[in-house]
Amino acid sequence: MTRATSSAPPNSRAPILTACAILIFAFIYLPIVVLIVYSFNRDGVGGFPPQHLTLDWYRQLFADGAIWDAVLNSVIVAAASVALALTLGLLAALALDRADFPGKALFRRLVLLPLILPGIITGLSLLMFAVFVHLPLSLGTIFLGHGTALISVATTELFAGLQKIDRAQEEASLDLGATPWQTFWRVMLPSLKLPLIAAGLLIFTLSMDEIAVTFFLIGRDNTLPLEIWGRLRRGITPEINAISTLIFALSVALIVIWYRIRTRGLGTEPQDLLEQPKTQEQAA
Amino acid sequence: MHSRAYKTLITAPPLLWVGLFLLLPYLLMFAHSFWIVRDGFLVHEWNLQNYHKLISNPLYVEVLLRTMRIAASVTLLSVFLGYPLAYYLSFHAGARKELLYQLVIVPLWVSYLVRGYAWKTILGSDGVLNGFLQYLHITHEPVGALLYSPFAVIVMLTHIYTPFVFLPIYASLEHIPRPLVEASHDLGANRLTTFLRVILPLSMPGLLAGATFAFVLSLGDFLAPLLVGGPSGTMIANIVQSLFGAAYDWPLGAAISVCILLITITLLSLTERFEKRWSFK
C-alpha cells in the first residue's frame, strides 16, 4: 500500500476524472443491478418502476427440475475439467519452466491459443474432430472441450506460481537423497497449494459459465448456460433473472475467495492472464 | 538437476494431449476448408473453391466488413472507458485502490450470458430503459430501435470487454516508475503534457494488449448478435454457425473460420512486436 499512497501527485484532486470513473462503474454495474432488482418484480421483466416485490420467481425456480438437472450436468463437467486442466496445466507449466524440448515455443503458443481465440473456432475444431473420430456428442465431449481449452488458464496461473517458489528447497530435497518423485509430492506440490486452489476455482467458474465452445459440442444433456440460452429464445421471464442473480452471487463469492487466495499465493501484483511467460526467452 | 526420465514424464503428457485434442482439431479445420460438400456429403477433394466463394460473394464481404466495424467500435469504446478507469485507479484512488480493483474484476468473471441477458431486458421495446423513459415522460411510445440492432451488439460487447481492456492498461500504468512522473511535473510540464509525453507512451503496451483482445474476441462473437443483434446485427461468426447448422456446408464454414483465425493471429503477432518495441526497459 505504500506505493499506492506515494503514487498520487500533489495535485491529486481531479473532479472530472473522478466523475468519469463513477460513471464508468455505473455502466459496468447498472445491468447487474437491474437484473437483480427485476428478479423480485411480480409483474415481470421491464416496466418502470418495479413494483410489488415478491419471491415467487425464486419459488418457481426451485421447483424447476430441468434447471437443476442442467446445474448438476454443469457441476460434473466443471469438476472433471478442473481435474484435467490442473493436472495437465501443472505438467505443462513445469515443462515450460524446467525442460527444453523441440517445439517448445510452438507448444507454449498452442496451449495459450484457446484463451485468445474466439470460442467458436475452438468449439468447431473440436466438433470436426469428434465427428472425424466418430465420438458421439455428449457431456463427455463438452468435458473434452472445457478441459482442453482451460489448460491455458491452468498453465499461466501455475507458471506464475512456479516463478514464486524457492527452487533451493527442491534442490536441497534432491541433495538429501529424496527421489524426484518424493520431491514432487512432498516439496513442490505443498508449496504450490495456493496457486493450485486459486487456478482450480477460476477454472471451475469459467467452465460453469462457458457457452461458445459448449454450443457446438452439446449432446442430449444441457449444461446450465445452454438451458438458459434455450429458454431465452422462447421468451423471457423473471425466473431467468432469479437464476442469473444466484449465478451472480455465487460467482462473486468464488471470485472473492479466488482473489484472496491468489494475492496470498502470488503477491498483490495484478497479473495479466495473457501475459506470456517471458523469463526463459530472456534468459536464453 | 533433473534426470531425463523426469523431464520426459512432465513433458510428454501435456504435449500429447495438446497435440491430439488441440493441434489436430485446428489442423482438421484447416483441412476442411479445402474440401467440399457434394450432394449433402463431405468429399475429401482438395481445392480452393471455398475461398473463391468467400471473395466472390458480396454478402460475405459485406458481413465481414460490418463485423470489423462493430469490433472496431467495441474496441474504441472499451479503451475510452477502460483507460480513464485504469488511470483513475492507478493515480488517484489512494487507499481505495485495492477495493476498486476488485470491483472491476468481479464483473469480469460474471457470466457472459447473464450480462447479455441483462442488456436484453434493458434495451427491449417493453424493457427497463423504455419503461424508465416513459416514466419520466421523455417519450410516450417505446423507442423501438434500441434492441435487435448493431447498436445493441456494440453496447453489450463494450460492457463485456471494458474490464478486459482495463486489466492490462492498469498493469502497465502500475509499472510506470513514479519518479518519472514526478520528474516531469518538477520540470514544469503540466498534467496534460505529462500524460501525453510520459504516461501514455509508457502504457502503450498495455493499451495495445487490451485493444487487441477486445477486437479479436468481438470479431469472433456469435452469441451477442443472436441475443441482441437481430438480422441487421448479424456478424461473420453467425454465418459460420449457420453453415455448420441448418445450411450444412462445413467446408465453407471452416474456410471463414480459417480467415478469422488468420486475422486473429496476424493481429496478435503484430501487437506482440509493437509491445516489445515500446516496452520500457
Nearest in space to A238 (alpha carbons), one of A14, A43, A44, A5: A44
* Mean pLDDT, rounded, for A22-48: 86
Confidence band for B257, pLDDT divided at 50, 70 and 90: very high
Interchain CB contact of B16 with A (< 8 Å):
no
Please provide the distance, in angstroms rounded to a whole number, between the alpha carbons at the two ends of chain B.
32
CA distance B197 to chain A (A): 16
For A246, counting Cβ atoms within 10 Å of its Cβ (0-12 exposed, 13-18 middle, 19+ buried), the class is: middle
What residues of chain A, 162 to 181, have a C-beta less than 8 Å from chain B? 170-171, 174, 180
Mutate to test the interface with A, among B3, B8, B17, B99 (most CBs of A within 10 A): B17
Asked whether the beta carbons of residue A95 and residue B14 sit closer than 8 angstroms, the reply is yes
- Cβ atoms of residues B37 and B248 within 8 Å: yes
The predicted complex's ipTM stands at 0.89
Tell me the three cell numbers of residue B134: 416513459
Tell me the range of A35-49, A118-132, A234-248, B179-193 where mean pLDDT is highest: A118-132
pLDDT (0 to 100) of residue A121: 94
Out of 3.30.70.3420, 3.40.50.620, 1.10.3720.10, 3.40.50.261, select the CATH number for domain B52-278. Answer: 1.10.3720.10
* Mean pLDDT, rounded, for B38-62: 89
> In one letter, which amino acid is A77?
V
* C-alpha A235: how far from chain center: 29
User: What percent of chain B has a predicted confidence (pLDDT) above 90?
Assistant: 51
B179 upstream amide cis, omega within 30 of 0:
no
What residues of chain A, 121 to 140, have a C-beta less than 8 Å from chain B? 121-122, 124-129, 132
pLDDT (0 to 100) of residue A164: 84
Stated pTM of the model: 0.87
pLDDT (0 to 100) of residue A142: 96
Residue A155, CB-side half-sphere exposure with 13 Å CA sphere: 33
- Cβ atoms of residues B15 and A107 within 8 Å: yes
Residue range B270-281, pLDDT digits in tens: 988 887 776 654
Nearest in space to B116 (alpha carbons), one of B277, B225, B239: B225
Interchain CB contact of B91 with A (< 8 Å):
yes
Residue A199 pLDDT > 50 = yes
- Cβ atoms of residues A227 and A66 within 8 Å: yes
* C-alpha B56: how far from chain center: 27
Q: Which residue of A has its CA nearest to B128?
A: A46
pLDDT (0 to 100) of residue B9: 86
Which secondary-structure segment (H or E) carries B189?
none
As a whole number of angstroms, the distance between CA A160 and CA A93 comes to 9
Sign of CA dihedral B246, B249, B251, B253: negative
- Cβ atoms of residues A156 and A86 within 8 Å: no
Residue range B166-218, pLDDT digits in tens: 999 999 999 898 888 888 888 988 888 888 988 999 999 999 999 999 999 99
Interchain CB contact of A95 with B (< 8 Å):
yes
pLDDT (0 to 100) of residue A99: 85
- Cβ atoms of residues B160 and B152 within 8 Å: no
User: Which positions ≥6 away from A130 have C-beta within 8 Å?
Assistant: A136, A137, A141, A144, A217
> How many C-beta atoms lie closer than 10 Å to residue A43's C-beta?
12
* Mean pLDDT, rounded, for A217-227: 92
Confidence band for B2, pLDDT divided at 50, 70 and 90: low
Confidence band for A182, pLDDT divided at 50, 70 and 90: confident
Residue B155 pLDDT > 50 = yes
* Mean pLDDT, rounded, for B90-108: 85
SS (H, E, C) B191-228: HHHHHHHHHHHHHHHHHHHHHHHHHHHHHCCCHHHHHH
Measure the CA angle with vertex B190, ends B188 and B191; round to 5°: 140
- Average model confidence (pLDDT) across chain B: 88
Residue A7 pLDDT > 70 = no
User: Which positions ≥6 away from A45 have C-beta within 8 Å?
Assistant: A38, A236, A237, A238, A241, B121, B127, B128
Residue that the C-alpha cell 513433458 belongs to: B11
pLDDT (0 to 100) of residue A284: 35
Measured between beta carbons, the chain B residues lying within 8 angstroms of A209 are: 109, 111-113
Domain boundaries, chain A: 62-238+249-278
As a whole number of angstroms, the distance between CA A264 and CA A262 comes to 5
What residues of chain B, 118 to 157, have a C-beta less than 8 Å from chain A? 118-122, 124, 126-128, 130-132, 134-135
**In terms of CATH, what superfamily is A62-238+249-278?**
MetI-like (1.10.3720.10)
pLDDT (0 to 100) of residue A276: 43
* Mean pLDDT, rounded, for A4-33: 76
- Average model confidence (pLDDT) across chain A: 84
As a whole number of angstroms, the distance between CA A191 and CA B246 comes to 51
Residue B83 pLDDT > 60 = yes
Residue range A98-115, pLDDT digits in tens: 888 888 888 998 998 998
DSSP, residue by residue, chain A: -HHHHHHS-S----HHHHHHHHHHHHHHHHHHHHHHHHTTBTT-S--SS--SB-SHHHHHHHT-HHHHHHHHHHHHHHHHHHHHHHHHHHHHHHHHHH---TTHHHHHHHHHHHHHS-HHHHHHHHHHHHHHTTPPPSHHHHHHHHHHHHHHHHHHHHHHHHHHS-HHHHHHHHHTT--HHHHIIIIIHHHTHHHHHHHHHHHHHHHHH--TTHHHH--SSPPHHHHHHHHHHH---HHHHHHHHHHHHHHHHHHHHHHHHHHHHH-SSPPPTTPPP-HHHHH-
Residue B26 pLDDT > 90 = yes
- Cβ atoms of residues A27 and B81 within 8 Å: yes
Residue B3 pLDDT > 80 = no
Interchain CB contact of B112 with A (< 8 Å):
yes
pLDDT (0 to 100) of residue B280: 54
CA distance A117 to chain B (A): 7
pLDDT (0 to 100) of residue A25: 94
pLDDT (0 to 100) of residue A139: 94
Which secondary-structure segment (H or E) carries B144?
none
pLDDT (0 to 100) of residue A266: 65
Tell me the three cell numbers of residue B107: 464483473
As a whole number of angstroms, the distance between CA A129 and CA B247 comes to 20
pLDDT (0 to 100) of residue A12: 56
**Mean pLDDT lowest for which of A37-51, A55-69, A118-132, A148-162?**
A37-51
Asked whether the beta carbons of residue A117 and residue B216 sit closer than 8 angstroms, the reply is yes
Tell me the three cell numbers of residue B212: 487487441
* C-alpha B6: how far from chain center: 39
Interchain CB contact of A202 with B (< 8 Å):
yes
Residue A49 pLDDT > 50 = yes
Asked whether the beta carbons of residue A205 and residue B159 sit closer than 8 angstroms, the reply is no
> Which of B135, B174, B241 lies at the smallest CB-CB distance from A120?
B241
Domain boundaries, chain B: 52-278
* C-alpha B245: how far from chain center: 24
User: Which positions ≥6 away from B12 have C-beta within 8 Å?
Assistant: none
Residue A277 pLDDT > 50 = no
